[in-house]
Structure 1
Amino acid sequence: MTVNDDSFTNWKNREEIAESMIPIIGKLHRERDVTVLLHSRSLVNKSVVSILKTHRFARQIAGEELSVTETLPFLQALTGLDLGPSQIDIGMLAATYKTDDRGLSVDEFTAEAVAGATGANKIERREGRDVVLYGFGRIGRLVARLLIEKAGSGNGLRLRAIVVRGGGEQDLVKRASLLRRDSIHGQFQGTITVDEATSTIVANGNAIKVIYANDPSEVDYTAYGIKDAILIDNTGKWRDRAGLSKHLRPGIDKVVLTAPGKGDVPNIVHGVNHDTIKPDERVLSCASCTTNAIVPPLKAMDDEYGVLRGHVETVHSFTNDQNLLDNYHKADRRGRSAPLNMVITETGAASAVAKALPDLKAPITGSSIRVPVPDVSIAILSLRLGRETTRDEVLEYLRDVSLHSPLKRQIDFTTAPDAVSMDFVGSRHASIVDAGATKVDGDNAILYLWYDNEFGYSCQVIRVVQHVSGVEYPTFPAPAV
C-alpha cells in the first residue's frame, strides 16, 4: 500500500468517526442543553468535515493536532452521565487526561471532570427567555442567526420579534432575503419562509414576528404574547439611559445596546466585567467591537506583566456609516468614498477601556484608519509593560490564556504565517492574537489582534444576553483562574 493509500484510508476512518459523533452531539444539545465544544469551538450542528477541521485547527493553539480518535471516548463517556445544562470541552478533557497520572479510565476521569454538571450539582433546565431585536441591520441579522442557531432544545433564548420601520412594498420578503443570504457571512444554515399575512419570518421553525414601528413608544409587546423579554437595540440611535429606557415598554424587562453606552450606562465586555452587572440593572451596553477586541488581551497582559501605558491603532473595515462615493457626512473625512480610500478617523475604544477595566490606571490612547475591506479588522496594541520580558514568554503566555483561562472564549491564537483578514471571517472570538506579528523588546510589546468586527462582536453580545437572562451555563473542565 502506498503512502497516498494510507493517507486516504486514514481520512476515511476519521470521517466515519466524526460521522458517529454528530448524533451524540445533537442529542446532548437537544435533550439536555449540553453544548459540546472543542477548545472553545462549538461542535453543535457541524458537518463531518467541519468537525475534522476543528480538530485539525487545534494544532494552531495547542501545538499539535487533535484526532477524533482521542476525543470520541470522552464524548461517549458523557452519554452515560446524568448531565444538566452545561458546556463541555472534549478537547480540554482529552488534553488534561494526557497529563493525569492517576491511572483513571476515561469514564472515571470524565465523570470527575464534569461532576459540577451532574447529579445534585446540575442546573435545572430553565424556561426559555424571550428576545426582541430593535433594528435589523448588519449586527441585528447576525445576532438573529446566532439566536436561531442556539435555540437548541427551546429552553434558552427565543427570538420572538424584530422591530423595524416600514420599508414599502415586499418589505418582509426583502428582509427575510437579507437574513437568508449574506455577501460576507454566506448562506443562512437552515430554512427560512415568510408569512406575509401574519408578518412573520419562520427560520428553522422559529416564528419571528416582524413589528413595524417608528418609535419605541408605539409598541406594546404583550399584545404579541411577549413577556419578560430582553430587547437588543442595534440601531445605535439612543446611547444614554434616558433614550434607551424608552424601550422599557410592556413585555420588556431589560435593554442591551450594541454600541458604546453614554453616561452611567454600564459598558460590558463579556469575559472581563460581565460579572459586575447588577441583577436589577435594566439598561446596559456591549461597548464597541474594538473595545471588545482590545480589552480582554489588555487585561491578560496587565494581569501578568502590568501595563504602564498603551496605544491602540485600529485598521478597521469600512461600515455603513461611510459613503460609497464622495458625499456630505457630518464627520471629518468619512464623507469620502469608503471602497476607494484609507480614511483616518477617531475611535472611542481607548477611552472606553476605563469603563470595562476601572482597575487599569495606565493611560490608553487610540486612533483608527478605515480601509477598503468589508469585514475583519486588526487592532495594533502597543504597550509599555511593568517589567521586561521576551517574545517567546509573551507568546507562550497568550497561547495558554487562549486555551485555559476564563478569557478563552474571548482570546484566540494563531501561528499561521500567511494569515490575512479574510481568514478570520466568522471567528467567534473577540480577538485573535497573531503570533507571527507579535513584537517584544524588553518592556515594550506590540500585539496584532485580528477581529471579525461583525460576527465576533455579535457573539460577545449573545454572551452578555445569555448572562443577564440566566441561560449562560457553566463550562467544564473549569478554566484555570
Structure 2
Amino acid sequence: MAKIAINGLGRIGRSILRLLTTTEAGEGFEIVALNDIARPELCAYLLKHDSVFGLFPKAVSHDDSGLTIDGTRYPLTDNPDLSQIDLSGVDLVLECTGKSNSREFATRGLRAGASRVLISGPCPTADQTVVLGANDEMLGDQQVISCASCTTNALAPLARAIDTAFGLVSAHMTTIHCYTGSQPTVDAPRGDLVRSRAAALSMVPTTTSAGRLTDLVLPDLAGRIFATSVRVPTASVSAIDMSFQAQSAVSEKQINKMLAALPAPIFGTTTEPLVSSDLRGRPESIVMALPETHVTKSATMARVFGWYDNEWGFSNRMIDLARRMTSM
C-alpha cells in the first residue's frame, strides 16, 4: 500500500481526492496527509458541493485537524510551507498547489521526509516532465516529476501518435479551453491584458504552455507544433483543434483507423455529435471526435479534433503516474 499526501485542495487536489475515495482509482493507495491553507470547514464544504462534478457521493465531515469521508478520517493541516510538516514514511507527495515554479518549492515535500514528489503542473526545475502516452520511457527513479499540464497531456500523446503513423512535418494547435481560476469573474487587473477580462462573458485569445511543454516532452518534434489558446465561457471540458502536415498523402479513413486503435485510458474516440458538456467526467487524456477529421485536397494537410476534461482527465493521469512512481 503506497502512502501518499496531497498538498493543495484546489480543483485538481479535490478531483484527485474524490477519485481516490470514491472509485477504484484509490486501490493500492493510503492517503496519510492532506494540507491546504483553507480552514477545514471550507475544505469539507468544497469537496461536498462541487459546481462542476456535483454532490460528493459519500458522507463528508470535518474537525479542526481532519476530514472524514465515509467514516475514514484523513489528517488535514494548514501549513503554507509543506517542508515544516512531518511526512516521514510518505512514498509520494501529490503537489497540487499550482505554485511549484522553483526548486525550493518543488522539493518541500522531500525536505518534509517524503520519498518523491509529483507536481500537477509545469515545473521548470523538476527532474523530469512525464506525459503518459508520450514519453513514458523517461520515467525512472527521479525524485521530482512534473505531470506537465492538462492540455499537454492531450496534445503530446496525439502528436506522437500522428508522427509515428504518418510523419508530422508541422502542426498548428488551438486549445479551446474553458475558463480557469487564473481569470477573474469580473474585469480585474492580471498580468496578461486579455486575461484581465471577465472570464464568463467573452472568448479570450491567449497563450498556452502546451507548445513549450510538448517540445520538452517530445524533443524530436521540437519547433514543429505551434500552440495557442482561446479561453471560452464554459466551466469545464476543453478541446484540441489541430491541423497538421503529414510527410505523405493520408486519408480520413486512415487517420480515423489509427485514432480508433490507440490505447485507453490515454485515448478515447467518439462518432457521436457531442458537445462539451457530454464529455464531463471522462477519464481519458483526450477523446477524439472522429467525424471532425478532415483531409484537404492536397492529401497531406489534415485536421483532427479531440475533447478533454481538463480537470477529471488530468487528475486520472496524475493517479496513473503516481501508481507508476510508487511501484518502481
TM-score, normalised by the number of residues in structure 1 = 0.65
Aligned sequence identity (%): 30
Q: 1:248 is paired with a residue of what secondary structure?
A: helix
Q: Which amino acid aligns with 1:253?
A: S
1:195 matched to which residue of 2? 63
1:430 matched to which residue of 2? 285
Q: 1:460 is paired with a residue of what secondary structure?
A: helix
Q: 2:169 is paired with a residue of what secondary structure?
A: strand
Change (3 A) 1:414 1:328: same
The answer for unaligned runs of 5 or more in structure 1 is 1-127, 402-406, 472-481
Q: Kindly state the Cα deviation for residue 264 of structure 1 after the two structures are TM-superposed.
A: 5.4
Matching residue within 288, 302, 307 for 1:450: 307
Matching residue within 183, 205, 208 for 2:74: 208
Q: 1:303 is paired with a residue of what secondary structure?
A: helix
Q: Kindly state the Cα deviation for residue 155 of structure 1 after the two structures are TM-superposed.
A: 6.2
What are the residue-to-residue correspondences of 1:318-397 with 2, within 5 Å? 318-360=179-221, 363-397=224-258
Matched, 1:416 2:297: no
Asked if the contact 1:231–1:255 (Cα under 8 Å) also holds between the matched residues in 2, the reply is yes
Q: Kindly state the Cα deviation for residue 205 of structure 1 after the two structures are TM-superposed.
A: 3.9
Structure 1 CA distance for aligned equivalents of residues 236 and 27 of structure 2? 32
Asked if the contact 2:66–2:74 (Cα under 8 Å) also holds between the matched residues in 1, the reply is yes
Structure 2 CA distance for aligned equivalents of residues 434 and 304 of structure 1? 18
Matching residue within 32, 39, 42 for 1:160: 32
Change (3 A) 1:242 1:214: closer
What are the superposed Cα offsets for residues 177-204 of structure 1, whole Å, 9 maximum, x if unpaired? 21112111112222223233xx111213
Q: Which amino acid aligns with 1:203?
A: I
Change (3 A) 1:264 1:468: closer
What are the residue-to-residue correspondences of 1:110-149 with 2, within 5 Å? 128-149=1-22
Give the number of the structure whose residues are more often helix, by fraction.
1
Greater RCO (Cα-Cα under 8 Å, separation 6 or more): 2
Matching residue within 53, 64, 87 for 1:185: 53
Q: Kindly state the Cα deviation for residue 275 of structure 1 after the two structures are TM-superposed.
A: 3.0
Q: 1:295 is paired with a residue of what secondary structure?
A: helix
Structure 1 CA distance for aligned equivalents of residues 271 and 287 of structure 2? 10
Change (3 A) 1:264 1:466: closer
The answer for unaligned runs of 5 or more in structure 2 is none
* Structure number with larger C-alpha Rg: 1
Matching residue within 239, 259, 263 for 2:101: 239
Change (3 A) 1:137 1:361: closer
Q: Kindly state the Cα deviation for residue 250 of structure 1 after the two structures are TM-superposed.
A: 3.6
Q: Kindly state the Cα deviation for residue 327 of structure 1 after the two structures are TM-superposed.
A: 0.9
Q: 2:5 is paired with a residue of what secondary structure?
A: strand
Length, aligned pairs only:
326
Q: Kindly state the Cα deviation for residue 340 of structure 1 after the two structures are TM-superposed.
A: 0.5
What are the superposed Cα offsets for residues 332-378 of structure 1, whole Å, 9 maximum, x if unpaired? 21111001111111111011112222233561111111110001011
Matched, 1:260 2:122: yes
Change (3 A) 1:228 1:210: closer
2:321 matched to which residue of 1? 464
Q: Kindly state the Cα deviation for residue 159 of structure 1 after the two structures are TM-superposed.
A: 1.5
Matched, 1:300 2:157: no
Matching residue within 92, 97, 110 for 1:230: 92
Asked if the contact 2:6–2:94 (Cα under 8 Å) also holds between the matched residues in 1, the reply is yes
1:217 matched to which residue of 2? 83
Asked if the contact 1:295–1:357 (Cα under 8 Å) also holds between the matched residues in 2, the reply is yes
Structure 2 CA distance for aligned equivalents of residues 316 and 264 of structure 1? 25
Q: Which amino acid aligns with 1:445?
A: A
Structure 1 CA distance for aligned equivalents of residues 116 and 71 of structure 2? 25
The alignment yields a C-alpha RMSD, in angstroms, of 1.8
Structure 1 CA distance for aligned equivalents of residues 247 and 126 of structure 2? 31
Q: Kindly state the Cα deviation for residue 157 of structure 1 after the two structures are TM-superposed.
A: 1.1
Asked if the contact 1:432–1:450 (Cα under 8 Å) also holds between the matched residues in 2, the reply is yes
Structure 2 CA distance for aligned equivalents of residues 387 and 361 of structure 1? 20
Q: 1:221 is paired with a residue of what secondary structure?
A: coil
What are the superposed Cα offsets for residues 240-262 of structure 1, whole Å, 9 maximum, x if unpaired? 43431122124311111111121
Q: Which amino acid aligns with 1:464?
A: L
Q: 2:235 is paired with a residue of what secondary structure?
A: coil
Structure 2 CA distance for aligned equivalents of residues 232 and 386 of structure 1? 40
